[in-house]
Structure 1
Amino acid sequence: MSKKVVVIGAGIGGLGTAGLFAKKGYEVTLLEKNANLGGRANIFEAEGFRFDMGPSWYLAPDLFEHFFDLMGERLEDHLDLVRLSPSYRIFFTGDPTPLDIHSDISIDSATFERIESGSSEKLQAYLRQSEYQYEVATQHFMYKNYDTVFDFFNRRVMTEGQKLSVFSKMHSFVSKFFKTKKLQQVMEYTMVFLGTSPYEAPALYNLMSHMDFNQGVFYPQGGFYELIRALARVAEKNGAKLRTNSPVAQILVENGVTRGVRLVGDEIVPADIVISNADIQFTETRLLEPKWQTYKQKYWDKRVMAPSAFIMYLGVNKKMPCLIHHNLLFSEDWRKNFDNIYKDPRLPDEPSLYVCAPSVTDPSVAPEGKENLFVLVPIASDLRITEEEKDAYSEKVLAIMEEQMNLPGLREKIEYKRIYTVDDFAADYNAFKGTALGLAHTIWQTAIFRPNNKSKKVKNLFYVGAGTNPGIGTQICLISAELVYKRVHGIKSAGPMESL
């Protein structure tokens, strides 16, 4: 191929796209505005601690393996994956007894049965449904491009829609199986990964439960950033040029056809095809002249954005024996917590939160005898938070962790702390409203209702990443790379490609 491809942004979708097109023989240049590759899957080091800044859950290993297979690579040659056991620990506000999920049906069924009589059989039935939905989704929906409503509402959806739970809400679906709030929370927490509320998400997304209960939760030794290094290695091996510190100022268009990009500093990088992995709202409203915009600002003003996050990166001078690798704390008033994110935006008084302690599994990410903690509180996008409010909320969250997660004296043990939140996401990743994830997965922002990966106004301009299909998630963004490859090459198949 003599055609030149420019990829804007080195998130997982951008890196995957660069790899696929380079493998096919295109001349690929990837341009990343930041000093590191990876987009939100970033990394930094401070005082002997190494922090993954974004994604930390390695789920659906089969989807990652599929991408590396397409690239002619063996995943195990690039990543040293450890299966976590237990997979994660859940703390409940006001309850001194945490609950461990092992991703082992015999152990987890017994755990459920102790909480709710009869729930062990219901869990197994729920996970059979989840596995079915996962298989149908990965073989018939996730790897398909949508252009008209009939692409989605096809015969399979219309005949099996009830079985696939396309048309019902997650919370209602879960409530049919489990009656206790505790078990409902366990089955619904993954909606946060998709940037939506269980009260709004399509029940189709219960396929997430298959990922963690049936397939298990993994960790790449060295940290999640090892995946970024692997994707970069494979892209460069196939000839892609990966440039950091190269922010794009404009997508160049002549007579309705893209001709490349202009960088900040006025360097021109010519291209026959431009694929943007930058935030779609930023791409459309800032990199294109108004006449070339498919989605203008008024479109974005009506979108539901996924949450942002209040994150603390903590270096702790003692080990925390009550924590395992992944830890979740669920608030007492589950619905109010989601309302504080979506309906009544504010810093939650009683937040649900996530604590990752990778140093439990991987001694390389913290000095000996110390703990590396990543603390994330989902919060509303577009919140304005002063520095004083950040400090005060940090103290509040740490106090809650001390009390509810059996971490007495945690604050006195902290020797390094960095706060990262809404304005940081906006500044570092051009994230619309400072969202940590992108467009929320509501029914009206899924599949045909999500922004298309092809510009309607500019020929040879395409999109990849969490803002287009299939949506949010590390492995899902790799699927979006395959979808834009299919789009450029006119491949109409609904399932994963077997080869390029």
Structure 2
Amino acid sequence: MTKQTRRTVIVGAGPGGLAAAILLAKSGVQVTVVEKRGDVGGRTSTIRQDGFRFDVGPTFFLYPRVLKEIFAAAGYDLEREVPMTRLDPQYRLVFGDGGELLATPNLEQMVKAIAAISPEDARRFHEFMTHNRGKLEKFMPFLQAPFESWRDLMKPDMLKLVPLLAPWRSLDSDLQMHFKDERIRLGFSFQSKYLGMSPFRCPSLFSILSFLEYEHGVFHPTGGCGAVTQAMARIATELGVEILLDEPVEKVLIERGTAVGIKTASRTLQADAVVVNADFAEAMKKLVPNSDRRKWTDERVAKKRFSCSTFMMYLGIDGRYDDVSHHTIFLAKNYRQNLRDIESLHRLSEDPSFYVQNACVTDPTLAPEGKSTLYVLLPVTHDAGMIDWSIEGPKYRKLALQQMEKIGITDVERRIRTEKIMTPEGWASEFDLYKGATFSMAHSLDQMLHLRPHNRFEDVRGMYLVGGGTHPGSGLPVIFESARITSRLLLEDLKMEPQWSTSAGTKPMVSQDELIGATS
């Protein structure tokens, strides 16, 4: 008798959904990915406008090992499929309070760079690296495993981690053990913005983010991060995955508490399992009736804390700013007030922090000859009903152009040849992000691990979650890890074996050799 083929439908062609599609297809599942937009990638896609290309969202590609393993599981080589450049310097930090720091993966050069601002802190840099190397090594197995109950926290190995992870400390408090100068601490904690959180509220665990940059590098994929999801979609298709574009899902079909497929305007797709790779809060509201959700009701979701949003400017310009780094982060003089404006007061700052990607100094393929791209990001509040962007948007654009002068980008407005603006309202309408929060639910202690929506969704049998809204959380490497967790759980429930070698407890995401000083 021929074994029945199992079918899975994945809602959303973001990086997590595409990674899950690859892993499930490799394991013998018939996979259909249904995407509302006309292109794959979600927030990790590409804007093409007047001959220019811009990443929509992520521009830092960190720790490629997870995706490299997923590609290898499918029989592909990530480095061959998506050429990448390791950046040095990784980025330039400009402090509104005075001083600059060129962050480099050359650790001895980094010590000298820190010493130019704070000699005392420079002496503690290697101590910081050693501490976080151990933290990552010990916590990594838990980032690779599902958390479905508080009982998972009570495992002996997890309890042993409590002193090391120090959950009672914020990221900034943790960094005070290593660095006294607040500017240096900001240089090792601004990465909490990848999670949409303030370093003064973000859990201390996330000091591993900056550690990963120095240990394993910051990369630029040729063509931008959108080129990564394009390659993933191609590989998925070659493995037999069907990808349907321009096809918004209207609802998940649920029978007696079990997901049995999805419905779009033009078709109904039956499935043995449904994976949702859309913004969790917004997807629940639109795709799953409130009456079918016992735990994650609309009322409960509305009470959760959500990340910041971003005000974006995608600029195609004449010429190039060759003396401006690939990545530049400006940290406002009153950084704490800037964060309060975003997180608590829900208002716009007069002197905001910002980030600029000047990618054409590394990758001229992103613009026509003689031109270049500027990607400008200002963290702002999510939509709390306090800001009318139709009024404030033009004002904030003007302020952003003025702020850019502080990092050496002057006289830019007359050079603009194409432009796109994205506000929290745009993130909500174009990408279906709840409240326009670009990093989903905040990563506070009460919204992590088993307290985050589970990879095997609690409220609907046969339904699974992948992406930044579920465990382990936001950021591309972590989202790829969520795909592995979710795919393992789904295959387990279908009584199928994963056809890839890496799994929690068998092969660590970070090898011992890599942990001991892989810095070149």
Q: Taking structure 1 as the reference length, what is the TM-score of the superposition?
A: 0.95
Name the counterpart of 1:287.
Answer: 287
CA contact (8 A) 1:141 1:495 kept: no
Cα offset, 1:28, TM superposition: 0.6
Select the residue among 386, 396, 399 that pairs with 2:399: 396
SS in 1 for 2:188: helix
Q: Distance in 2 between matches of 1:349 and 1:190?
A: 22
Select the residue among 391, 404, 407 that pairs with 1:405: 407
Superposition map of 1:27-426 within 5 A: 27-93=30-96, 95=98, 97-138=99-140, 140-265=141-266, 267-293=267-293, 294-383=295-384, 384-402=387-405, 404-426=406-428
- Quick one: structure 1 residues 248 and 236, their matched pair in 2 at CA, closer, same or farther if it must change by over 3 Å? same
CA-to-aligned-CA distance 1:88-135 (integer Å, 9 cap, x gap): 01112253x532111111000111122112222211101111222222
Superposition map of 1:444-483 within 5 A: 444-483=446-485
- Quick one: structure 1 residues 152 and 79, their matched pair in 2 at CA, closer, same or farther if it must change by over 3 Å? same
SS in 2 for 1:465: coil
SS in 1 for 2:388: coil
CA-to-aligned-CA distance 1:337-367 (integer Å, 9 cap, x gap): 1111111111121111110011110111112
The residue type paired with residue 348 of structure 2 is L
Name the counterpart of 2:512.
Answer: none
Cα offset, 1:459, TM superposition: 1.7
- Quick one: structure 1 residues 496 and 170, their matched pair in 2 at CA, closer, same or farther if it must change by over 3 Å? farther
SS in 1 for 2:115: helix
The residue type paired with residue 240 of structure 1 is V
Cα offset, 1:178, TM superposition: 1.1
Q: Give structure 1 stretches of 5+ with no counterpart.
A: none
Name the counterpart of 1:24.
Answer: 27
The residue type paired with residue 488 of structure 1 is L
Q: Distance in 2 between matches of 1:496 and 1:167?
A: 31
CA-to-aligned-CA distance 1:243-274 (integer Å, 9 cap, x gap): 10011001111122222111024x21111111
- Quick one: structure 1 residues 457 and 290, their matched pair in 2 at CA, closer, same or farther if it must change by over 3 Å? same
RMSD: 1.8
The residue type paired with residue 245 of structure 2 is T
SS in 2 for 1:40: helix
CA contact (8 A) 1:322 1:407 kept: no
CA contact (8 A) 2:15 2:476 kept: yes
Name the counterpart of 1:435.
Answer: 437
CA-to-aligned-CA distance 1:449-471 (integer Å, 9 cap, x gap): 11112233322111111110111
CA-to-aligned-CA distance 1:370-390 (integer Å, 9 cap, x gap): 220000011111154332311
CA-to-aligned-CA distance 1:165-193 (integer Å, 9 cap, x gap): 33321111112211112101101110001
The residue type paired with residue 481 of structure 1 is A
CA contact (8 A) 1:70 1:498 kept: no
The residue type paired with residue 60 of structure 2 is W
Cα offset, 1:55, TM superposition: 0.7
CA contact (8 A) 1:143 1:496 kept: no
SS in 1 for 2:62: coil
Q: Distance in 1 between matches of 2:479 and 2:213?
A: 18
CA contact (8 A) 1:130 1:208 kept: no
* Higher alpha-carbon deviation: 214-223 or 27-36: 214-223
- Quick one: structure 1 residues 98 and 115, their matched pair in 2 at CA, closer, same or farther if it must change by over 3 Å? closer
CA-to-aligned-CA distance 1:417-443 (integer Å, 9 cap, x gap): 211111111112211101112111111
The residue type paired with residue 264 of structure 1 is A
Q: Distance in 1 between matches of 2:166 and 2:420?
A: 41
CA-to-aligned-CA distance 1:283-318 (integer Å, 9 cap, x gap): 322211222124111111111111110000011212
Aligned length: 495
Q: Distance in 2 between matches of 1:101 and 1:46?
A: 32
CA contact (8 A) 1:2 1:26 kept: yes
Q: Distance in 2 between matches of 1:25 and 1:408?
A: 55
SS in 1 for 2:250: strand
CA contact (8 A) 2:389 2:425 kept: no
Q: Distance in 2 between matches of 1:212 and 1:188?
A: 12
* Higher alpha-carbon deviation: 4-13 or 482-491: 482-491
Q: Distance in 1 between matches of 2:255 and 2:382?
A: 36
CA contact (8 A) 1:42 1:52 kept: yes
SS in 1 for 2:124: helix
SS in 2 for 1:115: coil
SS in 1 for 2:82: coil
CA-to-aligned-CA distance 1:63-86 (integer Å, 9 cap, x gap): 222222222322122111111111
Q: Distance in 2 between matches of 1:489 and 1:50?
A: 37
Q: Distance in 1 between matches of 2:205 and 2:64?
A: 20
SS in 2 for 1:312: strand
Q: Distance in 1 between matches of 2:65 and 2:168?
A: 27
Q: Distance in 1 between matches of 2:157 and 2:362?
A: 43
CA contact (8 A) 2:23 2:70 kept: no
Q: Distance in 1 between matches of 2:209 and 2:349?
A: 25
CA contact (8 A) 2:262 2:269 kept: yes
Cα offset, 1:498, TM superposition: 8.6
Q: Distance in 1 between matches of 2:223 and 2:415?
A: 24
SS in 2 for 1:338: helix
SS in 2 for 1:253: strand
